[in-house]
Structure 1
Amino acid sequence: MKRFILSSMLPFFTAAAVYAQSFTVPENYQQVYSWNIPTSVNYGNSSPTYDVNNSAQQFGVVESIGYHLQLNDEWVWVSMDAYTSDLTKIGVPTVSSGAVFQTKVSNLQYQSNVASLGNSNASTAGNIEFWPNTYNATNSQNIPGADGGKYDFGDNITNGAYGSMQVHDYGNGKTVFGINKWNTNGNTDLGIGNASRADASDWTFAENAGNYSTKVLGVYVKPLEFAAAAGSTQADVIAKDTQGMNIVYKMDIPTSGGLSTANYVMNNEKSVSQTLKGMPLTVGYYLEMTKADGSKDYVYTSMDGLTNDVAKTGLPFQGQATQWSFQKNVQNMTVQSNVAGVTNGTNIQTGNVEIWNTDYAQGSDNAFNYADQKNNNGSYGSFQIHNSGAQQTVFAVNNWRGAPEVGIGNCPNPQNNGIDWTFNSQHGNNSNRNQYESVNLYVMAKASIAPMMANVADSTDYSIVQGHKITASMNTNLHTNGTSYDIVNNVPQMQNDGVIFDRIGYYMEYAETVDSPLQYVFVSMDAFTDDISKIGVPDGKSGIFYQQQVRNMNVTSNVAGVANGTGINGAIEFWPSNYGQTASNVHTAGNSTLYDTNDSGANTSAGHGSMQVHNIDANQTVFAYNHFSGVKQYGIGNNTGNSDGHTDWTFDETKKNYAIANLYTFVRESDAVLFTTSNSGLDFYQRDGNNMANITLSGSFKVADGVNLTAIQASEDGQNWIDMQYNAETGEFSSTVSAGAGWHQYQFRAMSGDTVLTSSVGDRIGVGDIFITAGQSNSTNHGDAPTASTTGNVVSMNHETGEWGYANDPQPTKINGASDNSNKGSTWPSMGDALSEMTGVPVAFSSVGWGGTSIDWWDPDSDNESNVGHGFDRLQAAIENLDGNFTAILWHRGESDFNMAKETYQAGLEELILASREVAGWDVPWEIALVSWRPQDGAHENIRDAQLALTEEMANVYLGPDSDALLGLLRGQNSGNGIHFSVDGLQTLGQLWAAEVYGDILGVPEPSTWVLFVGTFFGLGLLQVRKRKTTKA
């Protein structure tokens, strides 16, 4: 991965700061911050203004943190073992920093010219209280000596904003310094040593910042000094590998007396566990052995896959509350040493460990090495790291019950073939440990950022953008303050750098326990936005909403059942709102009765929330992250455990107690990016009399500064490329080409000379027949249940967005903000499938109907303001949206006019037909269904006669299906007595529509027995079937 959690390397700030009263910060400390403390400040969600801010620099492994506070002539210097390695969290603990620390610290040392503190002090009982919140005096952490009725060194965080930055020596009942009330209105509280106030020795409520003209806090770190020679390859490798490492333990290994937790001279297990909670770990070890002359032998090694539990990174001494042992392979091992014979390297895949607190025996090769046999008794102890591929021990610490055995590399003079230093203590004064003045082992750990990305073929092409710890937000409402990218957030820096990217990637990982293997998925796709701030979690604050197809999707996962592959057709459903099961028209996968790969009903308001990536080709969820307002619902692959068949993890909270769950975003940086698809990935054109259409290929692009763009090209076959017209100022391109009836899909590429800067795949473009559908409820979405095209050859126009989508019900009927709000089934997907099969070309619909309307509602001359939406206005808008290019208008209505005179209905519909042709500018064909049946009183001959008369008396007006004949089981509502159709009825009606249109308008007569066959099949009595006329007036 090209970008990582930390920023790029910068020079160190090395000058020691000198303050009044002759105090000089130790030279081995590096300055991170200098804060000129305001007399009064309320930071809220903003960050402090530091006079010095070196937090973006790399200081290596932070061994110690120091603070220097100067208040006029009073000063204090205090240092402690590092409680975090995140330099953004060691300054003022504001809301924006995310810093909250209420923890004990090791090796507290301080000196001051304030008499109550003294000139030189060391304490084994230090603690810090750093947070932006309000707090009370309750001793919530049970700090020894704290008074639960007073503000001191043992308080309790509560809701609200006040602010505390306090360092304490609780062992001696002292506050070292306190800086409070910088997160609310009023003067800041300041002080060194204990305050004189009886109820608040930690300076709470002091409000005394105005008493000081000089009030400056300096923040420093002391890096761990590795023995590798500066500038050497080993030093460079170690520096890079240890970025972000936290010291968990520092162990002083003696010459005798055994080993126990008492030998940890630094023990940050608790604080590091809290810092790294919920993350997979990279574990590192640094063994430094110093001779009497000051020279050092050393080895540094790190690895993935050892453990994800910080408490299990050290030596598993007997008697500890947690017991463990490891004899396992580890991955991605780094080894760097100055000991002759040790095989140095990175990304070593043949590492293994032998860690236990019992006795052990030689393995099958009769040697103590990297393949020993653990016993279940005894207490000898083994802490051995090996590179079995090199047949080598990297280092070993054995015999914890007696004289410790310690060594780097293979033992040169083994006892009982013990190249792993077993029994080396039997050499007595000649043992390896006794050749050194001191031996220290540092145990380190850091968050392993997306470690399974190592399995992704092109992982090095991607830069990390954001990292979100799902476990830390498990019960948090993300809509309130937005998603916390608490692992990494490179968005501001990448925005500042003007990063251009042409692909977007998502990595999800989780494990049920800290010892469970990680399950993961990485999925990438062509960029669907050029805004790097809009690729993360679509919470209510983000402004993110995408429901669209994505191209060139690649999937890599170790989860059983997930379809790995490249070049996949995908879809994303990213929104903050509630949503429903009904399939959208974005693609053809999914089931309208299930929460799955294709849902709908979402908007930009805060609700349940969905961040789902789907594989359309496999009808499979790749990953899902849902329910932003409560307990998170997430998973990889289809949810096969849901008893109702919902596959996209909606409502599934089974992973709420998982130990590890993280989500990352990535981008592939590029010199250029092309955007060539609509949300649905579809476009459609009406074919002409020659079965052709002029189609427009268009899109937008961005090119990095200094890059010479010479061409944007398109090709349908990937070989014959045509140059597009483009405008470098607007970033748009467009060209028109001629295409035959059927489906087309073009590739696009941006060129700089002969170099391809980037490429993309465009919309699926259909050339075929477009129909406008009009009428009342049976022309819209009032059938029993939604239906969908089964062929992928049928699409619908969304008049609000101007885009085409697949014709999954409900059909989009909203025009100019108005629709009849019908949301169930229609006949048009079935008609489209049947007609497409007949013609061999795709079919499209533009639906303008409105349930319950009469012929008067469609009057072109109506000025009745009560006609909300107004039928003719809707029809006119549809015609104009299509520029008059369509095949015909399909009319299905008449039930509401059952008591209207034949002549009135006929005249009203004739006027509508003529007006539509005037708008279109040509003699638009109309196909009119025979429609009049009501469950109360059956069919009405007056309306049927009017409909038939129009087909006999007007040119290009044809008789459509006799829907009055579809009764019984085809009318599913009210036990077959509904005015609307069952799913079977919708499908039957659609097939009839297709047969009639195919015979009338597309030129091929349909069998006259079609309706009779359907009626016979369902055993229903039919109305008289009117014969089609063969000539037109």
Structure 2
Amino acid sequence: MDFLRRLLKTAVSVLFFFPYTLFAQLQVTFPTSRLVIQRNNNNQANVPIVGQCPANATQIQARLTVRQGGTSTGWITLDNAPANGVFQGSLTGITGGWYDLQVKAFAGNTEIASTSMDRIGVGEVFVTAGQSNSWGVNCYTGQANDDRVSIINYWTGQAGQFSENSLPFNVSHADLSSGIANTGMFPGAYLYVWGALGDRLVTQLGVPVMFYGASYSATNSKHWVHTANGEETYSNLSQNMPYRVLGVTILHYLKRTGARAVLWHQGEGDNYYQSYNDYLNNINTVIDKSRTQLGFGNLSWVVSRVSYIPAALGSEYVNHETDPNIIAAQNTLASQINNWQGPATDGMIYPTYRKGDSFHLHFDSDDCPALIDVWSQALPTSYFNNTQPSLPNRTVLLTTGYVFPFTTNPGQNVQVPYFSRVPVRVDNQYQVEMLSETGCMLATLTSGTGNPLTVTLPSWANGRYRFRVNSTSPAIMGELSEPITINGSGSGLPPGLQAHVLSTVRNGNWNDPQVWSCGWLPSSIDTTELKHVITLPTGYQAHTGLLRYNNGAQLIYQNGGMLRIGQN
């Protein structure tokens, strides 16, 4: 009798526990609640949905239900063949709005699991950037009331205090519910006026809005351009600050969601010290870097016209509190393709404004309502109609962070951080690959489950390289890191390098590594694609395994120049 009683108890436990286990295995790893995906100018976006499901699932369905604005989808097959507990798909052409997500897993025709996630946005994504009057100060009038305004609430009290091996992904309402002294926008800024500006934009556009904060106080255009150009330390700043606060936002967040614009407020620190051309060239370089780093679209910059420094801060500012050269450069930047004019705040001065600062340089909490007004006026509907957002061209789940130091030697250990939203299986390993600066695969250095991953730089390294973290289960290729320089005495390439397809990237001599897409010369095992006019110099013997010509390409042989094709 005791045996039968135990058997019955076990059977009941299995009946109740087994379905629970299946349902508990359905989890969405991307997106996350309150995240906003950038829409296109037709008010639509593709929403990637990725996660884990029961191993026996044969189909995943999903639907978006309107919470406020937008158009519900009904049930859509997201993944018709989930692979051993992992699903991935995209809901396409989703109208701008605020949604609740539901996901179901099926084994054949039987529903075996379900989950839901509230508040998924299709709308507008912005990054604020610049110096102290972009960094701001928290004010109660600056928080959002509308539920559809989002930030990643992250605050340490100082700019640039974050770790790329533990990046946040909890998106919050843009309010001060965590306390006026404990609220900020990742990776670096106060909430300031941006929540209330979000309210204005939501009312104007009818879609959710999200802000990231990438400002750094007391910086001028030289700080930004030097670090955008890859200097690890400039002036009194290290760890590639200030550009890295913007770079981290682009690499780890905007690559996933897309963006409308960078809202740029900077120029006060350049008053008197930079010419029109200096400021124009410096910020153009920063803009170009941000667009290259994002890798898609033509990231819009809304450029404020600002230069005001009170005369009390230095004799150079007497009769020079504003700088017409800086303002002219900002106007030029704002007039460039896909850019726009931001607010002009040089006229907003003491005694009406900036009363809380003893030098009357910084805006204070009393100024927030006026600043919300000028920013709202700077972003009319015509801005959204006449600029193009930057939209992801693929689903990005795994991004590789900055690797320090930027200049090092073979044999040294470096830490490679990453940010993963991959729905990994229990047997997953993360692998670190080393690539040429142009992205050609060279070697796998290590694998593991930690973050960051420690790698020892190989003895053959000599040049500029990037790293890439990939997952193995499922197999997901990550995004490339920023480059570092390794000063060694080796060849720069590993022994036994596998064959590559090398294409020309500009006109030049065959024996110039910068002519070739991988940054090295073709060998007898490589395939070469000529897309330009290439010269074989006098007496030079080149090698390739296979040669292809594109239209317009030309190979010029100088005296004694020779090309051997094939491995013999």
Q: TM-score, normalised by structure 2?
A: 0.51
Q: Give the equivalent residue in structure 2 for 1:812.
A: 185
Give the equivalent residue in structure 1 for 2:356.
973
3-state SS of 2:362 partner: coil
Q: Is the 8 A contact 1:971 1:982 kept in 2?
A: yes
Aligned counterpart for 1:932 among listed residues 295, 299, 307: 307
Identity within the alignment, %: 25
Match of 2:380 among 998, 1009, 1014: 998
**What residue in structure 1 maps to residue 77 of structure 2?**
723
Determine the structure 1 residue equivalent to 2:343. Answer: 961
Amino acid in structure 2 at the alignment position of 1:893: Q
What is the DSSP-based 3-state SS (H/G/I as helix, E as strand, rest coil) of the residue aligned with 1:886? Answer: coil
Deviations, residues 458-498 of structure 1 (Å, cap 9, x unaligned): xxxxx9xxxxxxxxxxxxxxxxxxxxxxxxxxxxxx9x999
Partner of 2:224: 858
Structure 2 matches for 1:711-790, cutoff 5 A?
711-717=59-65, 720-725=74-79, 730-738=84-92, 739-752=94-107, 754-783=109-138, 787-790=142-145
Equivalent pair of 1:834/1:991 in contact (CA under 8 Å): no
Q: Which is helix-richer, 1 or 2? A: 2
Distance (whole Å) between structure 2 residues aligned to residue 709 and residue 784 of structure 1: 49
Q: How does 1:42-121 map to 2 (within 5 A)?
A: none
- 1:795 & 1:900 partners in 2: Cα distance? 37
Q: Shift in Å at residue 791 of structure 1?
A: 0.6
Q: Distance in 2 between matches of 1:997 and 1:770?
A: 13
Distance in structure 1 (CA, Å) of the matches to 2:75 and 2:309: 58
SS at match of 1:1001: helix
- In 2 relative to 1, CA 500–974 (structure 1 residues): closer, same or farther, beyond 3 Å? farther
In the TM superposition, residue 909 of structure 1 has moved relative to its aligned partner by 1.7
The residue aligned with 1:840 is 206
Deviation at 1:907, TM superposition (A): 2.8
Kept after mapping to 1: 8 A contact 2:36/2:124: no
CA positional deviation for 1:998: 2.0
Cα distance, 1:891 vs structure 2: 0.7
Residue 275 (structure 2) aligned to one of 902, 906, 912: 902
**Residue 287 of structure 2 corresponds to residue 913 of structure 1:** yes
Q: CA offsets, 1:834-876, max 9 Å, x none?
A: 1221111222223221111111111132525243242334434
Q: Following TM superposition, by how much is the alpha carbon of 1:886 offset from its aligned partner in structure 2, in angstroms?
A: 1.9
- Aligned structure 1 segments of 4 or more residues deviating by more than 6 angstroms: none
Change (3 A) 1:500 1:782: farther
Inter-CA distance 839–733: structure 2 relative to 1 (3 Å threshold): same
Does the CA-based 8 Å contact 1:785-1:825 persist in structure 2?
no
- Looking at structure 2, the residues matched to 785 and 719 of structure 1 have their Cα atoms a distance apart, in angstroms, of 37
| Equivalent AA in structure 1 for residue 274 of structure 2 | A
1:794 aligns with 2:149: yes
Aligned residue in 2 for 1:827: 193
Verify: 1:691 aligned to 2:43, yes or no. yes
Cα distance, 1:784–1:994 mapped onto 2, change above 3 Å = closer
Q: Distance in 2 between matches of 1:750 and 1:956?
A: 43
1:947 CA drift (Å)? 4.2
Matches within 5 A, 1:357-436: none
CA distance 1:894–1:964, shift in 2 (3 Å):
same
| Alpha-carbon spacing, 1:748–1:999, altered in 2? closer, same or farther (3 Å) | closer
Rate the CA distance shift 1:953–1:754 in 2: closer, same or farther, 3 A: closer
Q: Distance in 2 between matches of 1:926 and 1:709?
A: 45
The answer as to whether partners of 2:141 and 2:193 remain within 8 angstroms in 1 is no
Number of residues paired by the alignment? 341
1:807, 1:853 → 2: CA distance?
26
Structure 1: gaps spanning 5 or more residues: 1-8, 13-56, 58-462, 464-493, 503-668, 1006-1033
Inter-partner Cα distance in structure 2 for 1:953 and 1:942: 16
Instruction: Tell me how far apart the structure 2 counterparts of residues 786 and 680 of structure 1 sit (CA, whole Å).
Output: 27
* 983 and 990 in structure 1: CA distance in 2 versus 1, 3 angstrom threshold: same
Aligned partners of 1:714 and 1:746 also within 8 Å: yes
SS in 2 for 1:716: strand
Query: TM-score, normalised on structure 1?
Result: 0.30
CA deviations 1:602-634 (Å, max 9, x no partner) are: xxxxxxxxxxxxxxxxxxxxxxxxxxxxxxxxx
> Shift in Å at residue 986 of structure 1?
2.6
By how many angstroms is 1:948 displaced? 4.1
Distance 1:757 1:978, change over 3 A: farther
Partner residue of 2:534?
Answer: none
Q: Matches of 2:384 and 2:185 in 1, distance apart?
A: 25
Deviation at 1:915, TM superposition (A): 3.1
CA gap of 1:680–1:779, structure 2 versus 1, over 3 A, is farther
Residues in 2 aligned to 1:728 and 1:949: alpha-carbon distance in whole angstroms = 52
C-alpha distance 758-1003 of structure 1, shift in aligned 2 (>3 A): closer
Cα RMSD, aligned residues only? 4.0
In structure 2, the CA distance between the partners of 1:934 and 1:780, relative to structure 1 (3 Å rule), is same
Task: Give a deviation string over 1:909-936, Cα, whole Å, max 9, x none.
Answer: 2322233334445443321112223453
Q: Could you tell me which amino acid in structure 2 is paired with residue 906 of structure 1?
A: L
* Residues 156-211 of structure 1 deviation map (CA, whole Å, 9 limit, x = unaligned): xxxxxxxxxxxxxxxxxxxxxxxxxxxxxxxxxxxxxxxxxxxxxxxxxxxxxxxx
For 1:875, the aligned partner's letter is L
| Cα distance in 1, alignment partners of residues 26 and 283 from structure 2 | 48
Equivalent residue, structure 1, for 2:241:
870
Given that 2:57 and 2:85 are in contact with CA atoms closer than 8 Å, whether structure 1 keeps it comes out as no
Corresponding position: 1:887 with 2:242: no
The one-letter code sitting in structure 2 at the alignment partner of 1:925 is S
Q: Secondary structure at the match of 2:380?
A: helix
* Residue aligned with 1:965, SS: coil
Quick one: distance in 2 between partners of 1:781 and 1:952? Answer: 22
Deviates more, 1:731-740 or 1:979-988: 979-988
State the distance in 2 between where 1:916 and 1:709 align. Answer: 41
SS at match of 1:905: helix
Report SS of the residue matched to 1:811: coil
Summarize the alignment of residues 328-727 of structure 1 with structure 2, pairs less than 5 Å apart: 499=17, 673-676=25-28, 681-702=33-54, 709-717=57-65, 720-725=74-79
**1:825–1:983 Cα contact (<8 Å) kept:** no
Q: CA offset at residue 958 of structure 1?
A: 2.6
Structure 2: distance between partners of 1:733 and 1:926 = 36
For the 8 Å contact 1:784–1:973, the answer to whether it is kept is no
User: SS at 2:53's partner residue?
Assistant: strand
Tell me if the contact between 1:771 and 1:888 (Cα under 8 Å) persists in the aligned partners: yes
1:716/1:980 CA distance change after superposition, 3 Å: same
Unaligned runs of 5+ in 2: 7-11, 66-71, 155-163, 177-182, 388-568
Distance change (3 Å), C-alpha of 1:957 and 1:680: closer
Q: Is the 8 A contact 1:696 1:735 kept in 2?
A: yes
Specify the code of the residue in structure 1 equivalent to 2:204: M
Q: Describe the SS at the equivalent of 2:35.
A: strand
Q: Distance in 1 between matches of 2:31 and 2:136?
A: 23
Q: Does the aligned pair in 2 maintain the 1:678–1:803 contact within 8 Å?
A: no
The structure with the largest alpha-carbon Rg is 1
State the alpha-carbon separation in 2 of the partners of residues 709 and 923 from structure 1.
Answer: 40
Question: Equivalences for 1:258-337 in 2 at 5 Å?
Answer: none
Q: 1:671 to 1:761 in 2, by over 3 A?
A: closer
* 1:532-581 CA-partner distances (Å, limit 9, x unpaired): xxxxxxxxxxxxxxxxxxxxxxxxxxxxxxxxxxxxxxxxxxxxxxxxxx
Q: Partner letter of residue 997 of structure 1?
A: L
Q: Distance in 2 between matches of 1:773 and 1:900?
A: 24
